[in-house]
Amino acid sequence: MRPADGARGMEVLFVTSTLPYPPNSGSTIRTYNLIRRLAGDHRLHLVAYGSLPQDSAKVHHLGRSCASVTVVPLRETKRTPRFYLELLLNLLSPSPFVVSRFTRPAMARAIREIVGARRLDVIHCDFLTLSLNLPEHDHPPVIATAHNVESVIWKRYLAHERNPLKAAYIYVQYRKLLRFERKILGRFDGIACVSEDEEEQLRRICPSARFFVVPNGVDVEHFTPVPDVEAPHHLVFTGSMDWRPNQDAVRFFLDRIYPRIKKAEPRASLSIIGRDPPASLKTEALAHEDVRVVGTVPDMRPHLASAAVYIVPLRIGGGTRLKILEAMAMARPVVSTRVGCEGLSVVPDRDLLVADSPDEFARAVLRLLGDRALAGSMGQAGHRAVREAYDWGPIAVKLAEAWREAASGRRR
């Protein structure tokens, strides 16, 4: 990326929740690709939660791009007794759990030290959930990324939760998140949204905030079509399996869609690929014929290339799905719910098939399995759509322009 019109590079403090390497989840893929492209023309000082010395290799890799990398210790407690105690104690806090979990004195201190030591042009807060760590006064302009509209995600959790106790907890978190977003969005000099749909949702929450659309993208030189490796009748789902919306999507597909497909097409098979699948999900998958839960893989491309149909049966979520962009970049035919493909500049029935009910989703998958000419043309249409609109290079330019606008706006 080159600065527009010969503009000088900027000095940027980039605050994120976890060291974005390797890029193996939606958020780390976005963060890593933007950092890699922006660091060539701007000095980035990365601050992230992590654990040393375990993360030394990550720091070394990111240090090739960033002017400095600061690791703030944060002990991972997920799926431990301490984690569930923290969930319970959060009922006494005014902050949502996803905010209080990432608000730490050590992070606030690290940010203050860098702000005090360097002539920064802008602070980039990569997640709204980190925002309470930022100094309240005497700081440069701040741009925040809204990867999702968190309150919308929790509202969707609530719509699909049947356990009354869990539903009550989710409702409390949803209300806290909505209050938090209304309060915090207007404090920033700009909010980078991942789609126009997300901008519209956030603008309804806080009309006074300033928004920029900086979409999610895909490395179009890395994810390219691979001919003649498709596995007949094979379905593929990819995603971080420690994220509840992906778990819900897989369970929804296994329980209500896959049996319909298998009945009509006994040769159908399914691979579920992504980090940290819970044991309960593996057990559920074993109850179905020809289903594999693969877990973490070093390279997603061979698995995507094997897909006769790539499925996105999401019912919960926000932002835009990088998984769809990767599959389309490799010219795989996609069937998605409306939630799964929301916010993307794609055309249903040309670039992908869209279906929400179990019966509609099964019919769409079977249609592509049975009509390989249609599957091929749809894969090629999706591939063209992604190359035209979702290359990380131009997207990084949009973020740098947002930084400049925020900085110049503050000076005025």
Start-end of H helices in 161-270: 164-184, 196-205, 244-252, 258-264
Two structure tokens written together for 385: 């759509």
23: closest CA among 11, 37, 12? 37
What number of other Cβ atoms are within 10 A of residue 243's Cβ? 18
- Please give the Cα distance from 96 to 289 (Å, whole number): 40
CA distances from 260 to 179, 251, 264, 364 (A): 42, 14, 7, 11
Beta bridge partners of 45: 13, 68
User: What pLDDT score does 410 carry?
Assistant: 52
d(CA 402, CA 409): 10
Helix axes 196-205, 164-184, angle to 10 degrees: 90
> 150 with 317: CB under 8 angstroms?
no
DSSP 40: T
Query: Which helix H or strand E contains 114, and what residues bound it?
Result: helix 105-117
For the cut 90, the answer to whether the pLDDT of residue 317 exceeds it is no
pLDDT in tens, 48-66: 999 999 999 999 999 999 9
> What is the reported pLDDT for 53?
93
Average the pLDDT over 338-353 and give the result. 95
Ordered structural domains, the chain, with CATH = 4-217+391-411 (3.40.50.2000), 234-389 (3.40.50.2000)
What's the pLDDT at 270? 98
Which residue matches tokens 């179905």?
288
Cα angle vertex 108, ends 95, 122, to 5°?
A: 105
How confident is residue 408, by pLDDT bands cut at 50, 70 and 90? Answer: confident
Distances from the Cα of 195 to the Cαs of 44, 262, 390, in angstroms?
A: 25, 36, 11
Please, which pLDDT band fits residue 3 given cuts at 50, 70 and 90?
very low
CA 220 to mean position of chain CA atoms:
18
Give residue 400's identity as a one-letter amino acid code: A
- Quote the longest CA-to-CA distance of the chain: 66
**Whole-number pLDDT of residue 411:** 41
Identify the H or E element spanning 124: strand 122-125
Q: Which pLDDT band, with edges at 50, 70 and 90, does 295 fall under?
A: confident
The pLDDT assigned to 25 comes to 84
Confidence of residue 412 (pLDDT cuts 50, 70, 90): very low
H-type helices in 185-240, by residue range? 196-205
The tokens for 141 are 């302009």
User: For 12-25, what is each residue's pLDDT tens digit?
Assistant: 999 999 999 999 88
pLDDT band (50, 70, 90) for residue 6:
very low
Average pLDDT over all residues of the chain: 93
